[in-house]
Every structure is written in C-alpha cells, then in structure tokens.
C-alpha cells in the first residue's frame, strides 16, 4: 500500500464509524436528523482543523502555546455553534421552563459538544502525528540509502589511483621547483581525503567546510596546468551558521574539469557561489569540445544520484537547471539552507 493512500483510508474508515455511531438514533427514530447533522459539524470542524491546520502549522514546529490557544478556540467554536442551533430548535419548549433551567440546559449541551470536539481534536492530532512520523521515518531511511550510494560514488571518484597519482605527480614536480608550494598542496590533498572519508557520512555539515573543500579541490586541479586563468572561482556572501549536505556540487565541478576544453583556454571553467541570507546560488559553466563530449556524458549516474539526494534533503526548497548551448555546458542551482 502506498504511503499516500494510507491516511486517506484511515480517515474514511474513521468517519464511516463516526457517522454510524452518531446516526444510530436516527435509524431508531429517537433523534431528529438535525441533531445528527450538528454532531457531524461538531466532529468535522474540530477534526479537520486540527488535522490540516493546527498540527502542521504549530505542533509540528513545536509551537505549543499557539497550538493550545488556537485549539481551545476551535473547540469552543465547534461546541458553541451546535449548542446555539439546538437551543434555537427547542425555542418552543424553552418558553415553558425557567431561565435557570434554560441556562443549565445550555451549559450541559455545550459541555457535551466541547467533549466531542476535544476528542475529535485529540484523534486528529494522533492520526496526523503518526502519519507525519511515519513519513519522516521513511524519508530518513531513503536519505540514508541515497547518502550511502552517494558516499560510495564519491569515494570511488576521489580515491581512485588516477586522481591520486596525477595529483601526487604534480606535487612531486613542485617539490624540486617550489618546495613551499608543494607542501601546501600536499596539505590540501590530505585535507580533501580526510574530508571525503569523515564528512560525507553526515547528513549535513557546516557550509564553511563545504566551501573550504571546494576551494582546495579547485586549487589541486589548477596545478595540472600553468594557465592561471583556466579556472575562475568566485565565492561571495557570509555562510555564517548555515548547514548543507556534503559534496552536493562536487559532481558538477568534477564533470566541468573532466569535459572542459584544453587547459590553455582562459575561462574554460567558471564557478560562482554566493550566499544571500539563507539562499545559496551555485553556477558552474564549462566550455567543451562537441566532438569529444556530450550532455549525456556530462549528466551520468552521479548527476542522477545528486538529483535524488537534493529531492530528499531539500524537497521543494531548491531549483536546479542544466543547460547546453553551443559548446557551453551550464549548471545553475538555488537552495534554501537552514542553520545549526
């Protein structure tokens, strides 16, 4: 059974039982149908307001006082309207009894409907809480599964001999010509490997760590060419305490280096990352040779996994566009991040 159908079936089952129990008097001709209708109004008013509005808007966000306040108000309204309606229907009978008895009758009717509204509110809260918990658990399980796939993919991409040998070979050459720079790059490589091994297992990490990783990765790629204008990287804005899924953008950056044109071209790869409030803007553009690469080659399994990971981590809180025009491949993403 699909998880989206389960809440609907539970609600239908509950209301069929509720309608049957509250309507028994009608079938025995003991109660007028109007009493049945006000019972239904009382129950549905409370149940659906709690289910669709109060629980998602307040309780799910741990706003307990607004939840209690609005909940109390809804229960009062759900009880008051049926009470007034029944008193209006019985206006002829009321003319024959004293005001004190009328007041006591109104109080009793109001109390009964308040209890019914409270019970329906509690049941709605339990239903909604259960389904929210179940959906969160399911989403977390899926996220852990996708994170594991992503982690294995990233480890294979970064720890394969080709990447290590090329980087170490470039550092080895620098040892003779510029020992200080070679030591710096070796430290960056060490930081990258440590990051991949220890940070990628986390669901989210500080944005500052992710940006530092990207800088070091680009710098290590940069030493493979003497052209200092081959890559343009610009990072702006204050990451503050924002958190992000680890290595979200590395697959795009890797593809840019893999498929970019010859390293003698200035601006063959352009990377831009900016932070504005809690919005992160990412842009990656690379020029490539049509005869040697294609948009399909750019996309690959890693990009498909990344899309799934974005869906799990950020749901409707992100935008992702991948475009190809002439000999240019462009990726643009906007993500709404959260803090610690």
- Render each residue's pLDDT in the chain as its tens digit; 340 residues: 455 687 888 888 888 888 888 776 544 555 567 778 888 899 999 999 999 999 999 988 889 999 999 999 999 999 999 888 887 776 654 554 555 667 787 888 899 999 999 999 999 999 998 888 888 877 777 777 776 666 656 555 555 566 677 788 888 888 888 888 889 888 988 888 888 777 777 778 999 999 999 999 898 888 888 888 889 999 999 999 999 988 888 888 888 888 887 777 888 899 999 999 889 999 999 988 766 555 444 555 567 777 878 887 888 899 999 988 878 899 999 999 987 6
Rounded Cα distance between 57 and 59, Å, is: 7
Q: How far is CA 39 from the centre of its chain?
A: 38
Compute CA distances 47 → 53, 216, 217, 251, whole Å: 10, 55, 54, 47
Instruction: Set out the domains of the chain in order of their start, with CATH numbers.
Output: 6-137 (no CATH), 199-339 (3.30.565.10)
User: Cβ neighbours of residue 96 under 8 Å, at least 6 residues apart?
Assistant: none
């Amino acid at each position: 059974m699909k998880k989206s159908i389960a809440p609907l079936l539970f609600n239908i089952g509950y209301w069929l039982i509720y309608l049957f129990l509250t309507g028994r008097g009608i079938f025995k001709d003991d109660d007028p149908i109007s009493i049945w209708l006000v019972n239904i109004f009382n129950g549905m008013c409370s149940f659906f307001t709690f289910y669709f509005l109060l629980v998602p808007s307040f309780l799910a966000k741990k706003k307990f006082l607004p939840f209690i306040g609005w909940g109390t108000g809804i229960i009062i309204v759900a009880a008051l309207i049926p009470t007034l309606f029944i008193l209006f229907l019985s206006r002829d009978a009321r003319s024959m009894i004293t005001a004190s008895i009328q007041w006591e009758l109104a109080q009793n009717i109001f109390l009964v409907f308040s209890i019914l509204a409270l019970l329906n509110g509690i049941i709605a809260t339990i239903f909604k809480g259960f389904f929210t918990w179940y959906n969160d658990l399911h989403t977390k399980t899926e996220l852990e599964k996708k994170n594991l796939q992503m982690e294995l993919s990233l480890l294979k991409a970064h720890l394969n001999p080709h990447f290590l040998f090329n980087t170490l070979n470039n550092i080895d050459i620098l040892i003779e010509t510029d020992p200080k720079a070679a030591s710096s790059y070796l430290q960056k490589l060490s930081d990258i490997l440590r990051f991949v091994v220890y940070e990628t297992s986390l669901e989210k990490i500080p944005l500052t760590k992710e940006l530092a990783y990207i800088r070091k990765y680009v710098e290590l790629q940069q030493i493979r060419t003497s052209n200092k204008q081959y890559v343009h990287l610009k990072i702006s804005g204050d990451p503050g305490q924002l958190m992000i899924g680890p290595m979200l953008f590395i697959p795009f950056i890797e593809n840019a280096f893999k498929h970019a044109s010859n390293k003698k071209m200035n601006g063959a790869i352009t990377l831009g990352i900016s932070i504005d409030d809690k919005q992160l803007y990412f842009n990656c553009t690379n020029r490539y040779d049509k005869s040697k690469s294609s948009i399909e080659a750019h996309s690959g399994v890693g990009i498909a996994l990344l899309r799934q990971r974005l869906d799990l981590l950020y749901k409707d809180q992100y935008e992702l566009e991948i475009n190809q025009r002439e000999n240019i491949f462009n990726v643009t993403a906007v993500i709404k991040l959260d803090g610690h």
